A and B are shown apart, each in its own frame.
Chain A
Amino acid sequence: MMKEELFISGRNIPNVDPYLNIWHWQIPIYLYLGGLAAGIMFFAGYFTIMRKEKDMETTVKWAPFLVPGALVVGLFALFLDLKHQLYFWRLYTTIRLESPMSWGAWTLMLVTPLSFIWVASYMKELFPKWDWKFNILNKAEALAIKYRKSMAWAMMLLAVVLGVYTGILLSAFNARPLWNTSVLGILFLTSGLSTGLAASMWMSKSKYERKVLSRLDLIMIGIELFLIIHMLMGFLAASEVQIEAAHLFLGGEFTVVFWVFVIILGLVFPATLEVLELKGFHIPVWIPALLILIGGLVFRFVMVEAGQITRFLY
């Protein structure tokens, strides 16, 4: 039997305690949209490099239309999170290699224009009536089309950086035990790829394309489930503060949202539907797609919220 021991440690600063939660809805939205954009861009780049633009038309040409919007809204959410907004530009007067926030700000600075150029390079093909009006824009378009392959490589690479970054932004904080796991970078990347696939799948009208995407998505969901278990096992085998962090999901206050909305409704159930669909049952594609998209969003919210409760004990 363990000896019962009372441990009360407290301070009382009305605007700071009982626990500091400085990040609200803006940060999970920002991380989620970053991951979604990364997912769409990654596969648009991938299928371009594989010369599958014809078969995977939605993934390569249509879904990327969501990316500039997602990135701009995401950046705006980040902006809303800032408490000293007038000084926003300070992000772009330095590069600080040790700071994940700085990495993210600069990655988005590269990714966002690239996503706009990618979309622009398909405007005329998708909307034959489209006219750039200015000659210089026409020339720029021709250039973009010529270098599409290089852009595809750049997109894939930057998508990985962006996707991993959305996890590292949290995992770099040693002070918040729930975030402080190196699994988070790759876990958020996988989740981002899965939501990207779900978005493309939802938009696609081709049966073949949906089948390819749904197979890939099943792989992503499998990896994601593995990584989540891996993360929880890592916590349970670590120090007290991380064991307590894991317990937020294993009986603690986030147990229900985490298991019901993230694991079951966000991963296991849509995966089951996808398997049934591949087996020949008819299931409207928007159901698994929507569930995956919502599951990813809830996951970001849960991680950001729960992480801010966890802390060192002393």
Chain B
Amino acid sequence: MRYAMAIDTKKCVGCGDCVVACQTENNVPHGYCRDWIVENVVGSYPNVEIELRSERCNHCDNSPCVRCCPTGASHIVEGGIVKVTHNMCIGCGACIQSCPYDARYSHPDGYVDKCTFCDHRLAKGQSPACVAVCPTNCLYFGDLEDPNSDVSKALKNRKWKVLAPEAGTKPQLYFLT
């Protein structure tokens, strides 16, 4: 099993519902978030393009954050989800430095926190909170190894890219362009 997410940058309107849904679902402290919206403006007038991306941890296949963790608090679970065990984390910050996407943050309680693909919801057969709430349905989630999953179907007919592939982390968020 390999969980992944596809994000349709043509459908996203940057409303931020995914951000709020995650903050509520996962009790993210004020001033932090596990997912966020990036507005990417490229070009020069009059040919300016804007791309909106809902970003979060890429649950990388080759995850530097897991490798550099001195205690084993950062680890990989079923489906390739990268997680942090709070009471094993010493808050050294190494994993935060190692992430090319700045996807982790230091929780005010001391440990490091990040997106979990809502694995507690997956266990109940639900989709991640951000996916469930998106009003434009631009987030597709599922198992890449299952050709009938939402994410596999979304990737089949569209062009996509991943962010900073040159970082070598094999990220698992696919942005439909």
Residue of A nearest to B42 (CB): A7
Q: Are A87 and B166 in contact (CB under 8 A)?
A: no
Report A283 CB to chain B, min CB distance, Å. 41
Contact-residue size bin, chain B (C-beta under 8 Å from the other chain): 35 or more
Does B68 interact with chain A (Cβ within 8 Å)?
A: yes
CA distance A7 to B91 in the complex (A): 34
Does A94 interact with chain B (Cβ within 8 Å)?
A: yes
Contact of B69 among A4, A14, A93, A99 (CB under 8 A): A99
Residue of A nearest to B36 (CB): A11
Interface residues of A in 1-50 (CB under 8 A from B): 3-16, 19-20, 22-23
Contact-residue size bin, chain A (C-beta under 8 Å from the other chain): 35 or more
Report B68 CB to chain A, min CB distance, Å. 5
Interface residues of A in 56-103 (CB under 8 A from B): 81-88, 90-91, 93-94, 96, 98-102
Does A269 interact with chain B (Cβ within 8 Å)?
A: no
Q: Are B40 and A13 in contact (CB under 8 A)?
A: no
Q: Are B166 and A6 in contact (CB under 8 A)?
A: no
Report B170 CB to chain A, min CB distance, Å. 13
Q: Are A311 and B102 in contact (CB under 8 A)?
A: yes
Q: Are A85 and B64 in contact (CB under 8 A)?
A: no
Residue of B nearest to A100 (CB): B68
Q: Are B163 and A314 in contact (CB under 8 A)?
A: yes
Q: Are B41 and A5 in contact (CB under 8 A)?
A: no
Of A20, A23, A100, A308, most B-chain CB atoms within 10 Å: A20
Does B73 interact with chain A (Cβ within 8 Å)?
A: yes
Report B146 CB to chain A, min CB distance, Å. 28
Q: Are B166 and A239 in contact (CB under 8 A)?
A: yes
Contact of B44 among A3, A14, A101 (CB under 8 A): A3
Q: Are A13 and B36 in contact (CB under 8 A)?
A: yes
Q: Are A13 and B33 in contact (CB under 8 A)?
A: yes
CA distance A122 to B95 in the complex (A): 42
Residue of A nearest to B86 (CB): A84
Does B87 interact with chain A (Cβ within 8 Å)?
A: yes
List the B side residues contacting A82 at CB < 8 Å.
90-92
CA distance A7 to B39 in the complex (A): 10
Interface residues of A in 257-314 (CB under 8 A from B): 308, 311-314
Report B17 CB to chain A, min CB distance, Å. 16
Does A175 interact with chain B (Cβ within 8 Å)?
A: yes
Does A173 interact with chain B (Cβ within 8 Å)?
A: yes
User: Could you list some 10 contacts between A and B, CB below 8 A?
Assistant: A11-B37, A13-B31, A15-B31, A23-B97, A83-B110, A94-B71, A96-B70, A99-B69, A102-B71, A172-B98
Return the 10 tightest CB-CB contacts between A and B, nearest first: A83-B91, A84-B110, A84-B91, A101-B70, A102-B70, A175-B100, A22-B93, A90-B71, A312-B164, A15-B31
B interface residues with partner A (beta carbon < 8 Å): 31-33, 36-45, 48, 55, 64, 67-73, 87-94, 96-100, 102, 105-106, 109-112, 163-164, 166-168
